Amino acid sequence: MFSFFKKKKIIPHIKLSGVIGNVGKFKQGLDFSGQEEIISKAFALKKAPCVAITVNSPGGSPVQSHLIYNFIRVQAKKNKKKVIVFAEDVAASGGYLIACAGDEIYANSSSIVGSIGVIYSSFGFTELIKKIGVERRVHTAGKNKSTLDPFQEEKKEDIERLKNIQLDLHKDFIEVVEKSRGSKLKKTEVELFSGEFWSGRRAKDLGLIDGVGDANKILREKFGEDVVIKKFEKSKSWLSKKLSSSNDHVDQLANILDEKSVWQRYGL
């Protein structure tokens, strides 16, 4: 007879969206310091049975990805809460690493998931400066200080050194995925750690996610139709709003192109 006094379940829902790390001259991407407070507040909601996190990111900084992943796992353990992650358009590279903080991962059938690898890209301008008659002068203390200078010829030892660093980072990434997904991974079908990425439907077959569905659908299936989904999302500061409305169109264009190049790896 007192059922109408029963409190509805509240699920805190964090949205982590954007390229991970600093992007462009003024634009701040998705990083740990910018999300720490929001994540802490979401996990502090005492009676919440879980914390939901939506990830929409093509990746970026390995360090910031690990910091966010680790902080979510620490908060989950500290507050004894389950974490359910939802991939939106894309959870790839560092975005998928963050998604691995979830006890369960879901995605849309058309989401892009995976890209478990490490990439470095640059340009070489040696022929250009020769054509325009520019002489490059570099003075260093430390023989490797000018490693991978785009205005000098690539050196074999520089490439090998970079490759070793990439292999270390890749190993760290693989360890996170294997720890998170465990026996769910279907390693016999394809090479999961080659840097390849898949649709959400295919990612489910490979064990990279647990199911297909969006946050509203899955959370209501799990906790009832009357569940309250409370959004936790960082609002733009006054300064970032001011900078984003800058009249410097060159800076705005550089920011857009910088970020767009990362998303375009996944056809977005």
The answer to whether the beta carbons of residues 9 and 81 sit under 8 Å apart is no
User: What is the bridge-based pairing of β-strands 104-107 and 211-212?
Assistant: parallel
145 is annotated as an active-site residue: yes
Query: What's the helix, strand, coil split of the chain in %, to 5?
Result: 45, 20, 40
Q: Which of 57, 61, 65, 93 is catalytic?
A: 93
Q: Which of 78, 145, 236, 241 is catalytic?
A: 145
The answer to whether the beta carbons of residues 26 and 259 sit under 8 Å apart is no
The answer to whether the beta carbons of residues 172 and 62 sit under 8 Å apart is yes
Task: Write the burial class of residue 137 (CB in 10 Å: 0-12 exposed, 13-18 middle, 19+ buried).
Answer: exposed
93 is annotated as an active-site residue: yes
Show the tokens assigned to 153.
């010829």
- By annotation, the residues acting in catalysis are 93, 145
